Structure 1
């Protein structure tokens, strides 16, 4: 399994035969969107840095997202399927289970999802825009977690490290920090002190997950 970071929150998860995009928002450059060859798109919530109608119309691939995404795509040319917490979607070699994440009071009452993404060999937890640790962890152990660390409306560095420590042995890829590089640096320092295995991937960098560890 490979993870390619596209921007602040967007990414692509791929295997030899399947690729899905996650959170194709307004900040993903049009040139990157046009170059994507994915089988489906998953949107965690309706905020503009995670959802963009023009980008999704450019991709022209099936979209899976919560009710607000379905409503926003009504009347567009984009095929869309509503997903709710607990729903399981299989796209080729990739399985996706939607989970509730707490984006804090700023997001209420919209639905906010995280995605448990797995293949026959590996499992990744994409925590979306989690801001408060109030929901159960994924049911199965994961090889990698992707968590926001930028603070504000998502985890700050200290909260992100506390959350990451709950995932024993998982590699941690920080996301949602592009608006605050200082937050990324603070997270990396705290994570190293906590003994976490971190991979601070940059834009367009691909992370390979092998044997429970990640390499650029």
Structure 2
């Protein structure tokens, strides 16, 4: 039971660091500047729902997709760790990561009606980093407690995302640009440490002799 709690907690912290809903506030406010408060709440709701569904599908079906393409979980772990490290460096510098979305893509997507799903949920929040993290951590979920804890964690994180976006204007005003950048950098440092662990763990799986090192 303790192991299930520890694995679920680690998964939750990693996921929150990757999603970084505080860091997306400036983009969210820019995309929704022409929307009313009630519309913003609806967009936040659809975004959080899309995030939850995307992550849950990745948790459940991700490993089967890897097996279909003949990709080992160790190789995917190393690749995911490298991806997360690049995102972490961007967060530490308080800049946008092109692994999620770039400025040109944002401009092209501004006219879409379903902002909550594209580009907010996919790829800004539940992008490659969140998807790969979900697939990698799913391998460690060996008991029903793991899965119950992971599903509850994803739902709670979805609620957190929904509330942060719904009240993004107030949160942004309270934190200010400096506060948002500080939060993003802290999340980036945590994510960098996690990504290094993932890379080292993947290398040890590929080269078993290193496990005893």
TM (norm. structure 1) is 0.20
Hey, which of these two has a bigger chunk of helix by percent?
A: 2
Quick one: higher RCO (CA 8 Å, sep 6+), 1 or 2? 2
Hey, which of these two has a bigger chunk of strand by percent?
A: 1
